[in-house]
Amino acid sequence: MNLGERIKTLRQERRLQQRQLAEKSGLTPSLVSQIESGRLTPSLRTLGKLAGALGIPIASLFETPPNGRIHVNRKADYPVVSFDGTTEKWSVLGAGLFEGKIRAVVSTLGPKAKGVKTEKVIIAPGQMKLFYVIDGRVALHYNGERHTLAAGESAVLDGGVPHGWENLGTKQAK
């Protein structure tokens, strides 16, 4: 189930029409329709408004019940999140596992762009993050230090400490 389908299911479970969800979230009915149909990727701010209107935390928008002990997500079904003010996009891997110890995303950032600031993405102190560069050359800013990493290199860090990244190249970085 993709993100738009999940929002539609949650809306229908609450017996809301698209227009009613739009009113409760401060969005237009057209925007809600485009999100539910998968024609539009919502920003994190928009997801927050929808989650608030549905009375759930944002993480619940990505939850799907696992099949027994295995949780399989297909690439075509990865929810994609964008952030206002940046070219960064996240493909959420293992959607539905946010309440556990694992939070996995593939972050894509445009040429010479900076990623989202950590205060926009709530991570508890002590929750660890694996930062692995798939493509490109990036600078990882962590606790006032700058670390340059290339494809295949990684860092493990405490996600509760201020951090961010920027693409140093002229092509998209992952």
Quick check: 33 pLDDT over 90? yes
For the chain, the residue count is 174
In three-state form (DSSP H/G/I as H, E/B as E, the rest C), the secondary structure along the chain is CCHHHHHHHHHHHCCCCHHHHHHHHCCCHHHHHHHHCCCCCCEHHHHHHHHHHHCCCHHHHHCCCCECCECCCCHHHCCEEECCCCCCEEEEECCCCCCCCCCEEEEEECCCCECCCHHHCCCCCCCEEEEECCCCEEEEEECCEEEEEECCCEEEEECCCCEEEEECCCCCEC
Band of residue 21 on the pLDDT scale cut at 50, 70, 90: very high
Sign of CA dihedral 73, 89, 134, 115: negative
d(CA 168, CA 66): 38
Quick check: 27 pLDDT over 80? yes
What's the whole-number mean pLDDT along residues 159-172? 86
Phi, psi of 26 (to 5 degrees): 75, 25
Which pLDDT value is given to residue 85? 78
> pLDDT tens across 96-127, in order?
554 445 566 778 888 888 887 666 555 666 66
What's the whole-number mean pLDDT along residues 28-56? 90
Full-model pTM: 0.54
d(CA 10, CA 58): 12
Quick check: 170 pLDDT over 90? yes
